[in-house]
């Protein structure tokens, strides 16, 4: 990643949240040391990280150029010794968190930022035993931490504003959307909203109005889809029609005083009620393990985030910006001594057919992206396209040699066979990034076009010089055996 803000992080506590933090840090090229006294912590955490990398490959379309290392240690002081940021994610017990945070504070470098993943405890209370509380803030993420961008930041009475600003900058760099809570409050913003829904959900199950699955269906088939795009207020503004929010409040505001809500109360969590919830939850899971449910959840979130990314909406805009920032920049300074390694990718669920292999249309898409990378390296970048210049693919011939399946990586090698003032003739090879097996080839002809004039035109001198340099260097390479081949008639 370009412009990396930090290089070393520590995670104290390696449960679901701590493991998610470790995965997000490592994906962004940051080395992570983890401390958790639970003897099963490393196994569980590495399983979470493995699931996270699978989901992130699906979302980003490739592995990062560099993944950070993940190491475990039995000593807390060793975990935080050289960390630039420390994530505390131990259980939600005030005394425990105070003790752990004081130990972290004593052992961590003076400049290290310390954050707590607490979902509702006030930072002023948590920082009470720290010698240097000014560098402590709440950094409340949402599960799965490696996919969901939101992180709530909240300072305590002794926190420094600089710590909040530094934390916000770091988390933006990690592809997150920091929400700085304006004043200290139990539960912050998002969990107070979630708590309201959770209380009503428990009453609906308690009063046998609905099962746990039916309550979940009411969310995921209805309002949950809108919330992913617009939240509550903007959704209700639309519901007010052309007169907007004032009309909505006038029409539906009185309902807030109706006596049907139970938000001020919670059902008694008797053994019988807990057993009923647990049994219904078991039925809902239908035998799927936690890891299977995590992957199912992640695949669904990736699909939603991909769709939102294409539209640059809500969390999708944050993801799109992060993906763009972490992709290597195209460069005109090409090493033309070998076929150009211009595009790498990863086979995601959206790219496969019913056999879980890369489907035919996706070969065209992948070769097209590699062609775009070649054009950008020659100088036809987004600014050039915005000015009206571009290349069109005017001829293409593809061969499919071996299958590549779901969750497998690939790379595209590009050999320029020739160029003149208007055309580039290229041969592309899709190679398995692990085995090196040749998977497919594409021979393509690109034509330089002035879109404003609506016709083919000669490339500018600087671009033509790069075209000639690469074509000249590649002239010394072996001519591809399949170049110039066309489909042989059956008779």
Q: What is the pLDDT of residue 89?
A: 98
Kindly tell me if the per-residue pLDDT of 454 is higher than 60: yes
**Cβ neighbours of 412 (radius 10 Å):** 25
Which CATH code fits 329-474? 3.10.129.10
Q: What is the pLDDT of residue 263?
A: 78
Q: What is the dihedral of CA 350, 291, 74, 96, to 10 degrees?
A: 110
**Distance separating alpha carbons of residues 221 and 362, to the nearest angstrom:** 30
Length of the chain in terms of residues written: 491
Kindly tell me if the per-residue pLDDT of 3 is higher than 60: no
**Averaged over 21-26, what is the pLDDT?**
98
Kindly tell me if the per-residue pLDDT of 330 is higher than 80: no
Confidence category of residue 354, pLDDT binned at 50, 70, 90: very high
Residue spans per domain, the chain:
8-188, 191-317, 329-474
Q: What is the pLDDT of residue 340?
A: 94
pLDDT tens profile 225-240: 999 999 999 999 989 9
**Distance separating alpha carbons of residues 366 and 62, to the nearest angstrom:** 12
**Distance separating alpha carbons of residues 359 and 374, to the nearest angstrom:** 23
87-91, 280-284, 331-335, range with the lowest pLDDT: 331-335
Across all residues in the chain, what is the average pLDDT? 94
194-198, 210-214, 258-262, 312-316, range with the lowest pLDDT: 258-262
**Averaged over 305-332, what is the pLDDT?**
85
Confidence category of residue 336, pLDDT binned at 50, 70, 90: confident
Q: What is the pLDDT of residue 33?
A: 98
CA-based nearest residue to 248, from 235, 239, 260: 239
Q: Which sign, positive or negative, has the C-alpha torsion 16, 17, 21, 27? A: positive
Q: What is the pLDDT of residue 329?
A: 58
pLDDT tens profile 176-196: 999 999 999 999 999 999 999
How far apart, in Å, do the first and last CA atoms of the chain sit? 54
Candidate CATH numbers 3.40.920.10, 3.40.50.300, 4.10.91.20, 1.10.1040.10; the one for domain 191-317: 1.10.1040.10
**Distance separating alpha carbons of residues 447 and 389, to the nearest angstrom:** 11
CA-based nearest residue to 262, from 201, 313, 220: 201
Comparing 382 with 264, which gets the higher pLDDT? Answer: 382
Q: What is the pLDDT of residue 316?
A: 95
Q: What is the pLDDT of residue 326?
A: 84
**Distance separating alpha carbons of residues 375 and 350, to the nearest angstrom:** 26
Q: What is the pTM of this model?
A: 0.88
Which CATH code fits 8-188? 3.40.50.720
CA 3 → CA 7, 173, 317, 441, distances in Å? 11, 9, 20, 35
Residue 327, classed as helix, strand or coil, is coil
Confidence category of residue 353, pLDDT binned at 50, 70, 90: very high
CA 184 → CA 117, 137, 138, 152, distances in Å? 15, 11, 10, 11
């Amino acid at each position: 990643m370009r412009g990396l803000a930090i290089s070393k992080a520590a995670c104290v506590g390696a449960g679901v949240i701590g493991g998610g933090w470790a995965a997000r840090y490592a994906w962004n090229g940051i080395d992570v040391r983890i401390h958790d006294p639970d003897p099963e912590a490393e196994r569980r955490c590495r399983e979470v990280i493995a699931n996270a990398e699978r989901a992130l490959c699906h979302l980003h379309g490739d592995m990062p150029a560099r993944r950070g290392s993940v190491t475990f240690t039995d000593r807390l002081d060793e975990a935080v010794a050289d960390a630039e940021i420390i994530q505390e994610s131990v259980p939600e017990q005030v005394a425990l968190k105070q003790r752990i945070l004081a130990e972290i504070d004593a052992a961590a470098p003076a400049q290290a930022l310390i954050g707590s993943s607490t979902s509702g405890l006030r930072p002023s209370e948590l920082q009470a035993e720290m010698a240097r509380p000014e560098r402590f803030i709440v950094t409340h993420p949402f599960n799965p931490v490696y996919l969901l961008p939101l992180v709530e930041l909240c300072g305590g009475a002794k926190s420094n504003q600089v710590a909040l600003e530094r934390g916000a900058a770091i988390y933006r760099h990690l592809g997150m959307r920091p929400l700085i809570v304006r004043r200290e409050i139990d539960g912050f913003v998002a969990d107070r909203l979630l708590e309201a829904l959770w209380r009503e959900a428990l009453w609906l199950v308690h009063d046998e109005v609905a099962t746990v699955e039916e309550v979940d269906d009411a969310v995921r088939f209805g309002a949950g889809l809108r919330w992913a795009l617009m939240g509550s207020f903007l959704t209700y503004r639309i519901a007010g029609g052309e007169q907007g929010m004032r009309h909505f409040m006038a029409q539906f505001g009185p309902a807030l005083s109706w006596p049907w809500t139970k938000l001020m109360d919670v059902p008694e969590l008797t053994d019988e009620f807990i057993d009923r919830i647990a049994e219904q939850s078991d039925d809902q899971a239908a035998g799927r393990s936690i890891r299977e449910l995590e992957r199912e959840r992640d695949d669904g979130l990736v699909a939603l985030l991909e769709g939102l990314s294409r539209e640059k909406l809500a969390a999708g805009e944050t993801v799109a910006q992060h993906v763009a920032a972490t992709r290597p920049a195209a460069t005109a300074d090409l090493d033309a001594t070998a076929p150009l390694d211009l595009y790498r990718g990863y086979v995601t669920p959206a790219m496969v057919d019913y056999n879980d292999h890369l489907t035919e249309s996706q070969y065209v898409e992948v070769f097209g992206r590699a062609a775009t990378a070649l054009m950008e390296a020659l100088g036809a970048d987004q600014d050039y396209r915005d000015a009206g210049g571009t290349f069109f693919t005017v001829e293409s011939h593809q061969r499919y040699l071996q299958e590549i399946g779901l969750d497998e990586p690939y790379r595209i090698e590009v050999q320029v066979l020739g160029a003149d003032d208007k055309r580039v003739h290229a041969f592309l090879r899709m190679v398995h990034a692990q085995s090196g097996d040749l998977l497919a080839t594409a021979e393509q002809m690109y034509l330089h076009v002035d879109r404003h004039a609506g016709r083919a035109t000669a490339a500018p001198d600087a671009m033509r010089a790069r075209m000639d340099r690469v074509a000249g260097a590649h002239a010394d390479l072996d001519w591809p055996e399949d170049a110039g081949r066309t489909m042989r008639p059956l008779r």
